[in-house]
Amino acid sequence: MHSAPSSSPHAPDRWFPTRKPLTAPRARLFCLPFAGGSVAIYHSWSQGLPAGVELCPIQLPGRERRLSEKPIDSLPVLVDMLLPVLAPLLDRPFAFFGYSMGARISLELARRLQARSGPRPLGLFLGAAGPPAVNTREPIHHLPEDQFIAQLRRYDGTPEELFNHRELLDLVLPTLRADFALAFTENGHQPPKLEVPISVMGSPEDKHVPTANLERWRDETTHEDVRVRLFPGGHFFIKPQRDAILANVSEDLTRWLGSAP
C-alpha cells in the first residue's frame, strides 16, 4: 500500500497525479470518476481529445496513492477542497466530465462557480447519472456492512475478486461507502439553474439510471444546447464504449470552443 504524499492537501500532485501539462492548452477537461473509481479509468484518454485539450483526471482521497487518506463523504466539503485546487487551472476554457458519482460532483462544482460569479465551464459531460432532482438511488451508504456489501454486488463495476479478498475489501469499503454518500447527495432548496451546455450520456441497459431520467438534465440549465446520447453496455458503458464517448466529447468540445466568447 502506498503512503499518502507529503505535500499539502491542496498540492496538485495529490489531485492530478497523471496530468501532463501542455504549454498553452486551448482548454482543460477535468474528469471525475464513478464510485470506487480513480484516475485509472481515464488512462490514455488524451489520445482521443482534440489537439490542445489538456486532460486533467482528478484523484479523490481514499484510492491508489491516496488510499491512506480518509475518504470524503460530504459533497459540500469535497467542493470546498476542490475549488482552491482547481482555481489556478481555470485560466483557460474548461469543461467537466463526470461519470455516475462524478456527474454529481461536476454539477455541484459548476453550481458553486456560478454562484460565486467565477469562471464557468464551457459545458458539462455527465454520464450514467440522472439529475439529483429525480434521484432514484438508494441510500445504501447507511446500511450495515453485510447489507452494504450485498448491495455493492448489484453494481457491475465492483470485481467479484474483491469480495473474495477480505483484507482488500476492508481497505476499500470506507471509500466505497463515502462515494455512495456523495452520489446520493440531494439538492438543496431550489438550486439555481446553470447557464451552460450539458452533454448527457447513458445506456438503455443501465439498471440503475432510467433512460427517462437522462432527459431531465434539460431542467438543470437555461442553455438550449443539451444533448442526450445512448450507448450499449449497461451502467459501466464507459469501458467498452470509450472510443465512441471520446468521439462525442471531442465533437462537443470543438463546438463549445467555437462558440466561446
Residues classed as catalytic: 100
Instruction: Specify the 3-state DSSP secondary structure of 74.
Output: coil
> Distance (Å, rounded) from C-alpha 127 to C-alpha 35?
13
| Cα 92 → chain centroid | 20
> Distance (Å, rounded) from C-alpha 203 to C-alpha 224?
23
Specify the pairing of strand 53-57 against strand 27-32: parallel
Starting at the earlier edge strand, list the strands of the sheet with 53-57: 53-57, 27-32, 94-99, 124-127, 198-202, 226-230
Beta bridge partners of 202: 230
Specify the pairing of strand 226-230 against strand 124-127: unpaired
Which DSSP string corresponds to 101-155? HHHHHHHHHHHHHHHTT----S-EEEES---GGG-----GGGS-HHHHHHHHTTS
